[in-house]
């Protein structure tokens, strides 16, 4: 069933005709006001951020699975790794001196 808009218009009689005439006369002004309100609302929207920042935040949420990221340990707490790094550095410097 489709509503009979023409029948509703005729039933309303003179009540809707002034509104229709006003809208027909003022539609350009109303359209400009709607566009201006949209632009102003978009410009002053409080959550507007840089899209890269927003994308980075979304990616971080997806990666961490909504859990807090663990903090890394304090540097220099593993003596074995430090000794290994020093041995590699020493071997690299020795190899350079020997011309390998």
97 lies in some domain: no
HEC profile of the chain: CCCCHHHHHHHHHHHCHHHHHHHHHHHHHHHHHHHHHHHHHHHCCCCCCCHHHHHHHHHHHHHHCCCCCCCCCCCCCCHHHHHHHHHHHHHHHHHHHHCC
* Per-residue model confidence (pLDDT) at position 14: 63
Instruction: Quick: pLDDT tens for 18-75.
Output: 777 888 899 999 999 999 999 988 887 766 556 667 778 777 777 777 666 667 667 7
- pLDDT higher than threshold 60 for residue 81: yes
- Residue 64: inside a domain, yes or no? no
Provide the whole-model pTM: 0.34
Does a structural domain hold residue 25? yes
In a domain, 57, yes or no: no
Q: How many domains does the chain have?
A: 1
Residue 23 in domain:
yes
Residue 8 is assigned to a structural domain of this protein: yes
What confidence category does residue 1 fall into, taking pLDDT thresholds of 50, 70 and 90? very low
- The confidence score (pLDDT) of residue 79 equals 85
């Amino acid at each position: 069933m489709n509503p009979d808009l023409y029948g509703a218009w005729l039933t309303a009689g003179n009540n809707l005709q002034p509104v229709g005439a006003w809208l027909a006369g003022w539609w350009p002004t109303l359209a400009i006001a709607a566009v201006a309100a949209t632009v102003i609302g978009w410009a002053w929207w409080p959550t507007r951020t840089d899209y890269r920042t927003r994308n980075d935040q979304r990616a971080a949420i997806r990666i961490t699975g909504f859990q807090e990221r663990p903090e890394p340990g304090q540097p220099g707490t593993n003596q074995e790794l430090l000794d290994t790094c020093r041995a590699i550095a020493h071997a690299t410097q020795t190899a350079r001196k020997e011309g390998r």
